[in-house]
Chains A and B, each alone.
Chain A
Amino acid sequence: MDDALFLARAQFGLNIGFHILFPTLTIALGWFLFGFRIAYQRTRDPAWLATYRLWVKVYALSFAMGVVSGITMSFQFGTNWPRFMTSVGAIAGPLLSYEVLTAFFLEATFLGVMLFGMNRVPDWVHITSTFLVAFGTTVSAFWILALNSWMHTPTGHVLDGNQWIAADWWAVIFNPSFPYRLAHMLLASALTASFVIAGLSAWRLLRDRFDNGARWTLRAGLLAAAGVIPVQVFVGDLHGLNTLEHQPAKIAAMEAIWNTERGVPLVLFAIPDEKHKRNDYAIELPYGASLILKHDARAELKGIDAFPDHPPVAPVFFAFRAMVGIGVLMLVIAWWGVWITRKKRVPPPWALWIFAAFTFSGWVATLCGWIVTEVGRQPWLVTGVLRTADAVGDVSGAALGASLTGYILTYATLFVAYMVVLTHLSGKGADKVKEEPTAAGFAAAKGTD
């Protein structure tokens, strides 16, 4: 791999990896906020108002982080992958445009009303704005995952001259992997937000055991997580079977299967050796992979040897194990958490510490999942249509290196600041929220409530 290609990939990977953290949180957190807002409307309980106010600040900050890193991405499509657009632009362009038109303006505009308009507009307008922000982020996920899925499993396209164009938009959007990927990602978002809510609430309870709002949100986060994880396991399995059908080379890399054979064992752990095409120090479950992937212990599975174009094995293999491993831990913790918080109990400090430690587990799992699927698509940018190496531009290695350094410094600064503020918000910040007025809304502001 030459330097420019490596740097272009490193830079784009860094950017997209940083960016995805924030939408992953905000897509589902928007729906949680909508729930908190409704809860305040129904109960008029100051604790729900404080909860809403606290999380709306977390939301505002996360949203801003997502917006600024997202704008960077819209430029990097052109700077890093110019031939992506000249080759498949007639398909990618409309999908991206629809995301901007139907989602970005909607969420950004109503975010202003949601954040600052609570005392300026009637309650129903404020509730609708909160809904539209959550709805906008979800629509955004729809379009961008339609494009991403099309890049994995393209259908509905034809070649016209030297450009790929859509012959059937329905087939382009609802390509084979799209329903699974969309569901998998939205559930990942739900889990990420649930654990962030539970984790920061636990952090809050460690400071103040009698914070009612934090007790409710801890319970809400754990309950949501406990309910969503089994669904995610089910959807993840379907997604895997879909990948086996459409991108078998990715599955071979995920499971580190080098040779096509029958009755393939499940590799629990190993160090894949790319050079000799074998696994070192392997711990295997006999017939496991055949059983999981084909539901038949004797079934044949294609190995890396069957694919002239295949992704690098080690990163895909390890990232997949990390994702599943964290997922299992999250499942255990969520179920145990629901049990330990039953009947309005506040868990003991050591348990709260565990929830706090798992605050960002969803992020780690999501990043691992994206590494599996994106590295697993290599060497293709669009499977069978466009190679990553053919999409790279003419920007010099020096310019890429300089800007990469700039991005790394910027993202590191932003990330540290984000973490400091989150810790502050669930600590001192939450104390301050409590000093704010205990009623809000149009009527309260006008003094008629």
Chain B
Amino acid sequence: MDLPLIFMVLMGVSVLAYVVLDGYDLGVGMLMPAATDDEQSFMVSSIGPFWDANETWLVLGVGILLAAFPAAHGIVLQALYLPVVAMLVGLMFRGVAFELRVKAEGWHRQMWNWLFWAGSFLASFSQGFMLGRYITGFDQGFGYWLFAMLVGASLCGGYVLLGAGWLILKTEGELQKKAVKWARWGLLWVALGVALVSLGTPLVSETVRDKWFDFPRTLWLMLLPAATLAAGWWLWRSAALAGGRSDWQPYAAGVTIFTLAFLGLAYSLFPYVVIDRMTIWEAAAHPSGLKVVLAGAAVVLPFIVGYTILAYRVFRGKASRSLYD
């Protein structure tokens, strides 16, 4: 049994789950300033019951990195030290602002609203920035830093897209119409981001270039960008139909785009966990520990998925103004 490979897949699934789930929380957070006071209440209550569990996927992802690839964990997190701290500070403010803004009044409320937005933005931007640094193998130089900043900005756009898709699903009326516009803006940002990463990685790394530009395999691989374009078109079209039975479609299309981009990235990087430096087998932890974790995950993950679906079912339908209704 190839344990490092299995854990690579598990870690990938956790990170993808985190991105598409907390992505909509963070996206909704970033959209706050564009909404009225009343709309903000609906937006916050649409993510209220979920954000906490969504964030847990990040803990699982980093936990697997820690437990399964300890050597890489050290290299990656030390190289990304400051953006990690920035992300954590952002997540902290976002998380508690969520609780505090409901309880505050007057200028306090304004302050926590602002921190909710700023925290969401800082966390999203830092995550994109880290992605940009990660896929360029932490190379130094002005161009690389600029690239990381651009990826940071486009991940913000991507989360806005997910957040807007989520709002189309969970709201109605004026707010939903606004969300449609937001979703279209987000889509443009995502297009830019995906293009950047797709062009950037082969330029930076020969390994990646060889993998993508190797006829006739390239032709098969072109299915990925083609499918991404199709998903983008689906999103654009289904957003126009908002207000009916297809309200779930824009978010689903957003998830599809993220999944496809993620698969492309995974194909580029595999089998490296630190690009061109360390493969998953070199970074892997001792098999004795991995077996124990795998056994536990095999038993517990189905339950987690089960009760997560249960929680989403309990809070299905359009969000109301107050969470406690």
Contact = CB atoms under 8 A, between A and B. Distances in A.
Q: Do A and B come from one complex?
A: yes
Contacts of B292: 94, 166, 169
Nearest to A61: B99
A98 B296 contact: yes
Contacts of B99: 60-61, 64, 421
A108 B96 contact: no
A414 interface: yes
Contacts of A57: 103
A74 interface: yes
A96 B63 contact: yes
A104 B74 contact: no
Contact of B92 (A61, A89, A395, A414): A414
A119 interface: yes
Interface in B196-232: none
A101 B315 contact: no
Contact of B293 (A69, A83, A94): A94
Contacts of A417: 96, 100
B122 to A, nearest CB: 11
A109 B81 contact: no
A57 B100 CA distance: 10
For chain A, which range describes its interface: under 10, 10 to 19, 20 to 34, or 35 or more residues? 35 or more
A190 interface: no
Given A64-B52, A91-B289, A97 B311 contact: no
B29 to A, nearest CB: 14
A392 B14 CA distance: 28
A112 B285 contact: no
B110 interface: no
A82 B82 contact: no
Interface in B235-257: none
A269 interface: no
Interface in A400-445: 402-403, 406-407, 410, 414, 417-418, 421, 424-425, 429, 436
B92 A94 contact: no
B304 interface: yes
B74 A82 contact: yes
A119 B325 contact: yes
Contacts of B45: 116
B26 to A, nearest CB: 14
A79 B48 contact: no
B34 interface: no
A68 B77 contact: no
Contacts of B77: 75, 78-79, 82
B289 A110 contact: no
B95 A116 contact: no
Contacts of A96: 63, 66-67
A113 B311 contact: yes
B63 to A, nearest CB: 5
Contacts of A268: none
Interface stretch (B35-43, B53-61, B271-279): B53-61
B318 interface: no
Contacts of B78: 78-79, 82, 393-395
A410 B323 CA distance: 27
Given A91-B289, A102-B300, A116-B315, A71 B81 contact: no
Contacts of A424: 103
A110 B304 CA distance: 11
Contacts of A94: 67, 289, 292-293, 296
A298 B176 CA distance: 80
A48 to B, nearest CB: 17
A160 interface: yes
Nearest to B87: A75
Contacts of B289: 89-91, 93-94, 165-166
A328 B291 CA distance: 47
Contacts of B293: 93-94, 97-98
A417 B99 CA distance: 11
A105 B53 contact: yes
A116 B91 CA distance: 22
Contacts of B62: 74-75, 78
B98 interface: yes
20 contacts: A64-B98, A78-B78, A85-B67, A86-B74, A96-B63, A97-B64, A97-B293, A100-B63, A101-B300, A104-B60, A105-B53, A105-B304, A109-B307, A117-B49, A117-B315, A165-B289, A395-B78, A403-B81, A406-B86, A410-B92
Interface of B: 45, 48-50, 52-53, 55-56, 58-60, 62-68, 70-71, 73-74, 76-78, 81-82, 84-86, 88-89, 91-93, 95-96, 98-100, 103-104, 285-286, 288-289, 292-293, 296-297, 300-301, 304, 307-308, 311, 314-315, 323-325
Given A86-B71, A105-B56, 6 more contacts: A75-B77, A86-B74, A93-B68, A112-B311, A406-B86, A406-B89
